[in-house]
Amino acid sequence: MSDNVVPIKRASNDAPPTLTPILSLTATPMNAVNAIILDRMQSEIPLIPALAGHLIAGGGKRMRPMLTLAGAEVVGYQGTRHHKLAAAVEFIHTATLLHDDVVDGSEMRRGKSAANIVYGNPATVLVGDFLFSRAFELMVEDGSLKVLKILSGASAIIAQGEVDQLTAQRKIETSEERYLDIIGAKTAALFAAASRISAVVAEKDEAEELALDAYGRNLGIAFQLVDDAIDYDSDAAEMGKDRGDDFREGKMTLPVILAYARGNEEERRFWQDAIAGFANEDADLAHAVELIRKHDCVTATRDRARHYAQRACDALSIFPDSAARRAMVEAAQFAVARGY
């Protein structure tokens, strides 16, 4: 039934894809998930809900728990066990965001001051640890060892991906292959696990588990690629995070990897200096954006993203056509199109 899957390229007169269908699909259960999140981030220690709430209440797309909820719809799961697990997924994600902001020395997150700026690094590290522990408590309450295995495995892979990214930072020789390994670990592993666990609680067969895993993993890669493209896309709308952060931190993302590969000798010398941290003024960022545009590297990065988004959609072909499947397909299309 793969011909049921809406192709990723739509006729140019179509309305642009949005998250509206998947948001509608998951709105009711997301209220239940949000209630669990708010309840389980509480603690007798007032600093914990204050700091966690700064990030959690501060918006965010709840993309990962949304995948758990959408996955449950597409497999026809009728229960509510996945609510607690979706909250656990969001806690794991929030913990990694808090630690990322400390690691990167971020100043902004989701359009406001990052938690580390408001509450300091020490509290931010420790509240991340608390949320991570709470995530495991929620999973243990659910009681599925299979879910625990998937999510503890994903957590270890995320941490390895983060360390790997740190190792690659300011290393101009980082290849596209290594970059894909890194984002596969630090971003896509949790997208994959979040999607997959709904097939587990629904007691579906392994093929459905693996289909949801593939959907989440490819969607995660597409999302990260487009995030990384937008950081260098002068045409894109302003994001919640500071523009040019990746450049100033010397992060080797795909637009830079491609611009370096496609550049001439003089351009390569610029990239070597910039990524090493010797050319990171505003004028250098402007020059970087210009070189990336010259070599079509934002477009190339979006093309790579389209490839993964298409794989995400095709992975859904084992499920019959449904509003849930159509919403998930459109979410993948949105992942590629956003920021245009």
267 with 291: CB under 8 angstroms? yes
* Separation CA 121–CA 103 (nearest Å): 9
Q: What is the crossing angle of helices 81-104 and 121-142, to 10°?
A: 160
* Shortest Å distance, C-beta 95 to a copy of itself: 8
Q: Which is nearer to a copy of itself, 95 or 225 (CB)?
A: 95
Q: Does 276 bind a copy of itself (CB under 8 A)?
A: no
> Under the criterion CB under 8 A, does residue 137 sit at the interface with a copy of itself?
yes
DSSP letter at 106 equals -
Binding of residue 277 to a copy of itself (CB under 8 A): no
Determine the Cα–Cα distance for residues 211 and 77; give it in Å rounded to an integer: 16
143 binds a copy of itself (CB under 8 A): yes
SS3 state of residue 330? helix
Q: Are 313 and 8 in contact (CB under 8 A)?
A: yes
Q: Do 220 and 187 meet the contact criterion of CB atoms below 8 Å apart?
A: yes
Query: By C-beta, is 123 or 292 nearer to a copy of itself?
Result: 123
Site for a copy of itself in 83-122 (CB under 8 A): 95-96, 99, 102-104, 121-122
Non-local (6+) Cβ contacts of 141 within 8 A are 84
- Interface residue with a copy of itself among 1, 35, 47, 286 (CB under 8 A) is 47
Residues binding a copy of itself: number (CB under 8 A): 43
Residue 82 interacts with a copy of itself (CB under 8 A)?
A: no
Residue ranges in 167-186 that form contacts with a copy of itself under rule CB under 8 A: 167
Q: Of residues 166, 261, 276, 286, which one binds a copy of itself by CB under 8 A?
A: 166
Could you tell me where the beta strands, DSSP code E, fall in 96-138?
108-109, 112-113
Q: With binding defined as CB under 8 A, does residue 261 bind a copy of itself?
A: no
End-to-end CA separation in angstroms for the chain: 31
Residue type, 216: G
Among 22-30, 139-147, 193-201, 286-294, which window interacts with a copy of itself (CB under 8 A)? 139-147
Among 127, 192, 257, 313, binds a copy of itself (CB under 8 A): 127
CA angle 215, 61, 209 (to 5 degrees): 25
Q: What is the binding site for a copy of itself (CB under 8 A)? A: 43-48, 95-96, 99, 102-104, 121-123, 125-127, 129-130, 132-134, 136-137, 139-140, 143, 145, 148-149, 152-153, 155-156, 158-160, 162-164, 166-167
